[in-house]
Structure 1
Amino acid sequence: MRKPWITAMAVALPLALAACGGSAPPGTEGGEGGAGGGSGETITIGSLHPLSGAAAADGQQMDNGAKLAIEAINEAGGIESLDGAQLELASADTQGAPEVGQSEAQRLIQEGAVALVGTYQSAVSQNVAAVAERNSVPFVIDVSSADAILQQGYRFTFRLQPSAAVLAERGAEYLAEVSENAGAPAQRVAILHEQGPFGTAITETFTATAQDLGMEIGPVISYDPASVSDFTTQITSVREAGADVLMVAGYYRDGVLVANAVNTVKPGLDAVWGVANGAFDTPQFPGEVGEAGEGYFDANYRLDMTNPETQELAELYEETYGDEIRTAAVLSYDAVRVIADALERAGDASPQAVRDAIAETELDSLIAQDGPISFDEAGENENAAPILMQVVDGAVRQVYPEEYAETEPVYPATPGQ
């Protein structure tokens, strides 16, 4: 029977919880946080995201998304198969640093978390996945695309978003199809990517696929997202190379810096083409960069705004936090839902039982994808798939493939002119 978590959430008064309080240690019975569970039991889920540092805006959104899921589930009566047990969220700041994420994951597990969600940066998720495996505690990745995370034979780690391979392959294919349909096929693609596992994995697969489709690649430029402050030199190199498309794989802050540099240098591109870019498809991006971001593309996971439940969540998020919800926050919401659904079906809050139930998940997603959330043997969401978005008239719109399109893609879309 489908739990009415969204419906309960939409009518509930927003709760200001960071991690529901209580005098008992997290994950034990009798904790005051989550009062209202029929059995008095509280079940702790750990949330690991960058709440400070360069990616703090995204990390806070994701933690907020996880909190709203906890509130919705508790307001709807908690985990019925466990006598109405309530959930609580234990939030930890990874600072975007792999070693901090690792130590915080270990702390949350020691304090009783039965499952973890996170983490946004692939390098952090790699370390957290190792901790989760070592402790036999399930870890549901909301956002982190690097293929290597799930190539270790792990049994306790699952990923909701599309892998880097899927994102990059589709991103290159969409570029070929959209540009050819417009009569201006992409010929030379420059690449600008963050230097961590995420950006590197995207670049490697995108390059191979684009070359197979007849495109030339170069230059390929990497950068440190934590320290970069300006991209004028890099965009000048792109202009001098004569590239007609710039593919960018990075995070929000660096995406804004790229748009500003392209607007300054005016490299004469047919398109700036994000692949899993943390900026170009967010509702905040057009407002922050103005006309400099007009026409930008991004092939990425996307919240499904044709779904009434997603619409309700977006409205509640804005009412609660005074900000438009980003897709990453919806993935965090879904990650908590996956764990709650597993608890409900297992009727058992032990990490092993939760892990086994997660492996059998068939749950409708609030993200646009090819079917329900369902995991293969490696822990990948089998139905996860990106769609193509573009900034059109100052707003992010879904433009390709046709079945998801709100409007047609504009190509060429020369930025900074």
Structure 2
Amino acid sequence: MQSRIVLGLTTAALVSAVLAACGSPDQDSSDRAGKAASEASATTIRLGSVLPLTGRSNHSGESMRNGAQLAVDELNAAGGVLGKQIELVTADDACDPGTAVSAAQDIVKDGIAVSVGGYCSSAVVPTLRIFRDAGIPMVIAQANSTDLTEPGYDSVFLICGTVGAEAVFAVDRIHRLGGSRLAVVHDGTSFSLTLADSSVAEAKRTKTLTITDEIKLSQGAPDYERIAQTVISGKADTVYFTGYYAEANQLIKDLRAQGFRGRIVVGDGATDGPLLNDLTTAQSTGVYGTALLFPELMPTLKEWSARYKAAFGTSPGPSTVEAYDAVQVAVDAIRRAGSSEPSAIRQALTTTDTTVVSGEVSFRADGTRTVPTFLLLRAEDQAFVLDALTDAN
């Protein structure tokens, strides 16, 4: 299923956070993109956001759309940028690579100046070339697989820290929690696999954890009992699952049902969603997560969270801040460039040095953020709380 929406200025809906890879676009393609953006409207500047608005990850996509919309609405209320209002174009990728390609092609035709979406890395990766060939830079809010930087494009900028940085954080915190024997489970998709590989490599580099198993599960399977049995037979005391929350929920249930009583740690793709909603206290005890920003758990984001709740009637969840910040970073580049031409925006993004809700933002030469933030969460019944080891030195 695919949908595409061009939102009016007053409702301005969505611009998700992730400008995923554009390489050195040729001048002709950049000029064509700039011309399309100019023709779209003489009084507006269009931003494009491809998100999972349907499918198993729609909860996260909708949250990101809200975060991006809040940024756009606030910017427009303050006068917009370069004397123009900001218009948001959204498209649904359902976290599916094929659907994502069609969605990206559609919003390119809508004359966007910059891309600010992206949740599932596996869906973002195949769109990199599409945006690059169109000369459109990408500010990627949520996706953070190292596959996004692998092509070496010079117009992809990541709001979140990469899986490599998350793996370093995860291995250190699992060790500090008392883990010594680690089973790593992934789902084979870009984000999940690269986080798993990076975690295994970091454990071996530091020699702090013994890897008992590396296991791939199938997304959407009815149960993971065999995987649970493999983990138990390998005598792991900790499991690190690097996939998404639907599979994480079932894996936790099956691990506990098979008698595993050790720690279960999930990556940021699983903390970003209703992972704990139907777990019992016995199932969720000992569950942790390596995560990106959780506004409701961070006192420094109290005022921003209040603005979000006033706008949407609900508290902001994971991914909302990153989507908001992706829009802010993109508009900051437009303002500094003094132009809505994609090539000028790309150049301005390379010299970004600004402070947004998530903190200071600047980018390395490869487009990764210089100072990423990760949290260690701990499950208490059906909610996550911030664990004291988040800020361990």
Shorter-chain TM range is: 0.7 to 0.9
Tell me what 2:353 maps to: 362
CA distance in structure 1 between the partners assigned to 2:249 and 2:310 by the alignment: 26
Tell me what 1:207 maps to: 200
Going from structure 1 to structure 2, the CA distance change for 1:381 and 1:347 (only over 3 Å counts) comes to: same
Alignment of 1:6-155 (within 5 A): 16-18=11-13, 27-28=37-38, 31=41, 41-79=43-81, 82-83=82-83, 85-155=84-154
Superimposed CA distance per residue, residues 122-155 of structure 1 (whole angstroms, 9 cap, x where no aligned partner): 1211112221221211101111121121121201
TM-score, length of structure 1 as denominator length: 0.80
Tell me what 1:409 maps to: none
Correspondent of 1:274 among 266, 274, 283:
266
CA distance in structure 2 between the partners assigned to 1:60 and 1:138 by the alignment: 23
Q: Deviation of residue 358 (structure 1)?
A: 1.2
1:313 aligns with 2:312: no
| Matched residues, number | 363
C-alpha contact 1:239 1:268 (8 A) present in aligned 2: no
CA distance in structure 1 between the partners assigned to 2:105 and 2:387 by the alignment: 42
1:261 aligns with 2:254: yes
Tell me what 1:5 maps to: none
C-alpha contact 1:90 1:108 (8 A) present in aligned 2: yes
Correspondent of 1:339 among 307, 311, 330:
330
**Unmatched 5+ residue regions in structure 2?**
1-8, 16-34
Correspondent of 2:365 among 355, 367, 377:
377
Q: Deviation of residue 374 (structure 1)?
A: 0.4
Identity of aligned residues (%): 24
CA distance in structure 2 between the partners assigned to 1:174 and 1:239 by the alignment: 22
1:352 aligns with 2:343: yes
C-alpha contact 2:241 2:264 (8 A) present in aligned 1: yes
Tell me what 2:21 maps to: none
C-alpha contact 1:117 1:335 (8 A) present in aligned 2: yes
1:222 aligns with 2:216: yes
Superimposed CA distance per residue, residues 88-109 of structure 1 (whole angstroms, 9 cap, x where no aligned partner): 1101001211122122212211
CA distance in structure 1 between the partners assigned to 2:67 and 2:158 by the alignment: 17
Going from structure 1 to structure 2, the CA distance change for 1:76 and 1:289 (only over 3 Å counts) comes to: farther
C-alpha contact 2:248 2:266 (8 A) present in aligned 1: no
CA distance in structure 2 between the partners assigned to 1:257 and 1:314 by the alignment: 31
Select the structure with the greater relative contact order (CA < 8 A; seq sep ≥ 6). 2
CA distance in structure 2 between the partners assigned to 1:294 and 1:322 by the alignment: 30
Going from structure 1 to structure 2, the CA distance change for 1:324 and 1:294 (only over 3 Å counts) comes to: farther
Which of 99-108 and 162-171 deviates more? 99-108
1:386 aligns with 2:379: no
Q: Deviation of residue 223 (structure 1)?
A: 2.2
Q: Deviation of residue 266 (structure 1)?
A: 2.7
Tell me what 1:241 maps to: 234
Match of 2:384, as an amino acid?
V
**Unmatched 5+ residue regions in structure 1?**
1-13, 32-39, 180-185, 406-417
Counterpart secondary structure, 2:266: strand
C-alpha contact 2:45 2:113 (8 A) present in aligned 1: yes
Going from structure 1 to structure 2, the CA distance change for 1:324 and 1:306 (only over 3 Å counts) comes to: closer
Counterpart secondary structure, 2:355: coil
Counterpart secondary structure, 2:60: helix
Superimposed CA distance per residue, residues 275-329 of structure 1 (whole angstroms, 9 cap, x where no aligned partner): 33x23365x4444424222332112222465465x32332343344444322212
TM-score, length of structure 2 as denominator length: 0.85
Match of 2:197, as an amino acid?
E
Counterpart secondary structure, 2:236: coil
Q: Deviation of residue 331 (structure 1)?
A: 0.6
Going from structure 1 to structure 2, the CA distance change for 1:15 and 1:288 (only over 3 Å counts) comes to: farther
C-alpha contact 1:49 1:92 (8 A) present in aligned 2: yes
Counterpart secondary structure, 1:364: strand
Going from structure 1 to structure 2, the CA distance change for 1:262 and 1:324 (only over 3 Å counts) comes to: farther
Match of 2:264, as an amino acid?
V
